Amino acid sequence: MKIIGIDPGSRITGYGIIRKEGNRLIHVDNGAIFTDAHKDFPLRLQRIYRGLTEIIENHAPDAMAVENIFFATNVQSALKLGQARGAAIVAGVNAGLPVYEYSALQVKQAVVGHGRAAKEQVQKMLKALLNLPEVAQEDASDALAVAVCHAHSVGLNTLRGKLK
Amino acid sequence: MKIIGIDPGSRITGYGIIRKEGNRLIHVDNGAIFTDAHKDFPLRLQRIYRGLTEIIENHAPDAMAVENIFFATNVQSALKLGQARGAAIVAGVNAGLPVYEYSALQVKQAVVGHGRAAKEQVQKMLKALLNLPEVAQEDASDALAVAVCHAHSVGLNTLRGKLK
C-alpha cells in the first residue's frame, strides 16, 4: 500500500510518500509546496489544493495521513494554519482517499520509539528507516514521519485483527 | 451580477445569494449547510466543499464574498473554523470565482450604515433591504450581509473608477 503524509502550512506544505511492502517501508517521493506570500490568501489555498491534487494523481496513494494539531502560537496563526489544513484535507477526500489523523506523540513514538524525541532525532531516524540519501526538508520530513506513523498503525491493526 | 456570500463554520456554513441590478439588490437564495458532528472531521470538510460546489453550480454567481475573521474563542476553535473556511474558499476558487474578504466592520457599515450595529439590527435591515419574507437563519443572514457588502463595494469601486 502507498501512503501520502502531509504537513500543511499556509507558507509551506510538506508531503512525503512511502510504500509499505510487508514489513518494509520504501521511500517514494517527498517535497514541499511553497505558496507566494504576496498573493491573496484564497489563491494560496488554491495552490495547496491543486499542488496536492496533482501529486495525488501522479502517485495514486491509497491513504492520506496528517498530524493532528492542537497548538498554535495564537488565534491568528491557528486560523491561517487551519485554512491551509482544510484545503489540504479536501484535496485528499476529493481524490477519494481516506484521511487519518495522528497526534504528534503517536508520530514520534512510531518513528523514534518514544514521544519526547527532538526534531533532529526524528529526521535522522527517518533518514535511516527510509534509506534517504539525505535528511529531507523540514516540512517534507514531518510529512514522511506521519506517513510512517500510519504505516505502523495499519500493521498493528492488521496484527490485532489476526490475534482476535 | 450575482454574488454568493458565505459564513463558514465547522458545524454550520451559511450561504446567501443576491443579484445586483443597477442600484437594486435582489435576494436569490439563502440557506445553511449542516455537517454531522459524529462524522470524522475530513468528511465534514468534504460536506462543506461539495455542498458549496453544488450551490455554485446551480446559481452560477460571478463572485464570492466572505467575512475576514480575526477572532476566535481559543486556538482550538480557530483551528476548526480555519479548516471549514479553507474548504469553503477552495470551493469558490476551484469554481473560478474571485473571492473577496471583508471585515465585520465593513459588513456592518454596508448593511446598517455604522460599524457598531447589533446582530438583530443587521438581520432586520437585511430583511428590509432584500425584501425577505422573514429574518433568515443566523448563518445564512451573516452570509447575505457579506454579499451585500461586496455589492456596495463593487458600486463604490465603479464610481471611483468613473470619478478618476
- List A residues 103-162 in contact with B (Cβ-Cβ < 8 A): none
Which tops the pLDDT comparison, B93 or B161? B93
B70 contacts chain A (CB < 8 A): yes
- The reply to whether CATH 3.30.70.141 applies to domain B2-163 is no
Distance between CA A38 and CA A41 in Å, rounded?
9
H helices present in A5-164, as ranges:
41-59, 75-94, 104-112, 119-129, 138-163
Q: Tell me which H or E stretch contains A32.
A: strand A24-34
Nearest Cα to Cα of residue B148 among B124, B130, B121: B130
A36 given a catalytic annotation: no
Q: Which residues of A touch B78 (CB under 8 A)?
A: 72, 75-76, 78-79, 82
- pLDDT, one tens digit per residue, over B26-71 is 999 999 999 999 999 999 999 999 999 999 999 999 999 999 887 8
> Distance, in angstroms, between A45 CA and closest chain B CA?
6
A67 given a catalytic annotation: yes
Nearest CA in chain B to A50: B94
ipTM: 0.89
- pLDDT, one tens digit per residue, over B60-99 is 999 999 998 878 888 999 999 999 999 999 999 999 999 9
With 0-12 CB in 10 A as exposed, 13-18 as middle and 19+ as buried, what is B9?
buried
B42 contacts chain A (CB < 8 A): yes
C-alpha cell at A116: 519526547
A81 contacts chain B (CB < 8 A): yes
Distance between CA B135 and CA B123 in Å, rounded?
6
Give the up-direction half-sphere exposure of residue A24: CA atoms within 13 A in the CB hemisphere. Answer: 5
For residue B163, the model assigns a pLDDT of 47
Q: How confident is the model at residue A156 (pLDDT cuts 50, 70, 90)?
A: low
The answer to whether the annotation marks B36 as part of a ligand binding site is no
- Number of Cβ atoms within 10 Å of the Cβ of A139: 23
The answer to whether the annotation marks B7 as part of a ligand binding site is yes
The single-letter code of the amino acid at B116 is R
> Distance, in angstroms, between B24 CA and closest chain A CA?
28
Q: Which residues, 6+ apart, have CB-to-CB distance to B58 below 8 Å? A: none
Answer whether B46 sits within 8 Å of A74, measured CB to CB.
no
What is the overall mean pLDDT for chain B? Answer: 92
A7 given a catalytic annotation: yes
User: For strand A12-21 and strand A24-34, is the pairing parallel, antiparallel, or unpaired?
Assistant: antiparallel
**Average pLDDT score over residue span B141-152:** 96
**Average pLDDT score over residue span A94-103:** 96
What percentage of chain B exceeds 90 in pLDDT? Answer: 81
pLDDT at residue A24 tops 60? yes
Q: How many beta-carbon pairs below 8 A join chains A and B?
A: 108
The domain spans of chain B are: 2-163
**DSSP string of A133-151, one letter each residue:** SSPPPHHHHHHHHHHHHHH
Rounded to 5 degrees, φ, ψ at A157 are -60, -40
What is the overall mean pLDDT for chain A? Answer: 92
